[in-house]
Amino acid sequence: MSIEIQGINKFFDRFQALNDINLTIPDGQLTALLGPSGSGKTTLLRIIAGLESAEQGRILFSGRDVTGLHVRDRSVGFVFQHYALFRHMTVAQNVAFGLDVLPRRERPGKPEIRQRVNGLLEMVQLDHLANRYPAQLSGGQKQRIALARAMAMRPEILLLDEPFGALDAKVRKELRRWLRSLHDELHFTSVFVTHDQEEALELSDQVVVMSNGSVEQVDSPLELYARPDSRFVFDFLGQVNVLSGTIGNGIIRQGDAWVKLPRGCDDDDGQLYLRPHEVRLTQQPTREAHLPFRIEAISVIGAEVRIELKPDGWECDELWEVGISHSDFNARKPQRGDRCYAVPEVGHLFCEHLDEPKTLNWH
């Protein structure tokens, strides 16, 4: 079931939480609402569910206007961040709760409820815990039970509010893989809220980046990472190195630091954005760039070595970060305090006269 969001505006007293939101969520896809705290993503999710109402705009499910429908009539499942399980009920009773409280004419018979609950517990791989209570479960198990409870009503749309936010990193990763696998098997339409960039890029088919109650960009994870539309999206999608300076004669310059722009550019002030993996380190400057640094810190993290760099002889608001391979690190053995030079390989140029950032390649 597709979701059309048309001209949604939401106020809390004088504060505008959502500003003219227009958005399409395709049928059968997993869509992430990504943004910092206060960006409006949870408010939008609650309006889709019918838990909040908007002052203006419409919500359509596969072309059907559901704006005025009560939450119980929208065929939507909602999974909360903190599970909201009933502590005095067993796992099976929690999953069955929504079915048990339906009006008599809509309620399935007890054998059908029991069969549906058993099937859902098998699906979330927790059928052996049917008679336990929430206090006896781990965080990951509680979240699976919350998901099974939401799906017991056979919703056409599943909404999840920070579903993994209360879990540790290892469990979050395992549950992300499990939810993606489940989604690919059942093909329901899902929308989930997150402030975790890695989670959004790894799990979703479509990412909606939000800021201050507005939509900044809507794209697939690959397109979003490769071609951010704005500085905000670039900054929000992880670590980035920024050279701010004046552009002239095909060079962007900040004090004694400069980078030659492959295609040239008009005179202007601009910012060159470089992700850590788009920069390499050398012991001498090159013809393309003169970006001197001192090594501030070295951290071995996972598959790469992270090197933090402090500008040497020029001004920059923040430390730069470069990732290098373990083999490169072992071959060069850089030390804290060493002088080195950054050389860009791929960059993204923002300046006033460009309608959108220009991707530059020094290969």
**Which domains occur in the chain, in start order?**
3-228 (3.40.50.300), 239-361 (2.40.50.140)
**What are the φ and ψ backbone dihedral angles of 81, each rounded to 5 degrees?**
-60, -40
For the chain, give the mean pLDDT. Answer: 89
Contact, 341 vs 282, CB < 8 A? yes
pLDDT category of residue 143 using cuts at 50, 70 and 90: confident
CA angle, residues 160, 164, 167, in degrees to nearest 5 = 155
Cα gap 348→233, rounded to integer Å: 12
Least reliable range by pLDDT among 56-70, 91-105, 154-168: 154-168
Q: What's residue 268's pLDDT? A: 76
Q: Is the pLDDT of residue 58 over 60?
A: yes
Q: What is the arithmetic mean of pLDDT over 320-327?
A: 93
Q: What's residue 293's pLDDT? A: 96
Q: What is the arithmetic mean of pLDDT over 44-71?
A: 94
| Percent of the chain with pLDDT strictly greater than 70 | 98
Q: What is the arithmetic mean of pLDDT over 72-96?
A: 87
pLDDT in tens, 305-321: 999 999 998 988 889 99
Spell out the residues 6+ positions from residue 224 whose beta carbon is closer than 8 angstroms to its own. Answer: 201, 207, 209, 217, 233, 237
Q: What is the arithmetic mean of pLDDT over 76-98?
A: 87
pLDDT category of residue 257 using cuts at 50, 70 and 90: very high
Q: What is the arithmetic mean of pLDDT over 75-97?
A: 87
Q: Where are the beta strands (DSSP E) in 195-333?
A: 206-211, 214-219, 241-248, 251-254, 257-260, 268-274, 279-282, 289-290, 292-301, 304-311, 320-325
Q: Which residue has the higher pLDDT, 46 or 124?
A: 46
Q: Is the pLDDT of residue 264 over 60?
A: no
Q: Is the pLDDT of residue 289 over 70?
A: yes
pLDDT category of residue 266 using cuts at 50, 70 and 90: low
Cα gap 300→312, rounded to integer Å: 23
pLDDT in tens, 351-363: 877 778 888 888 7
Q: What's residue 322's pLDDT? A: 95
Q: Is the pLDDT of residue 178 over 90?
A: no
* CA 38 to chain CA centroid, nearest Å: 15
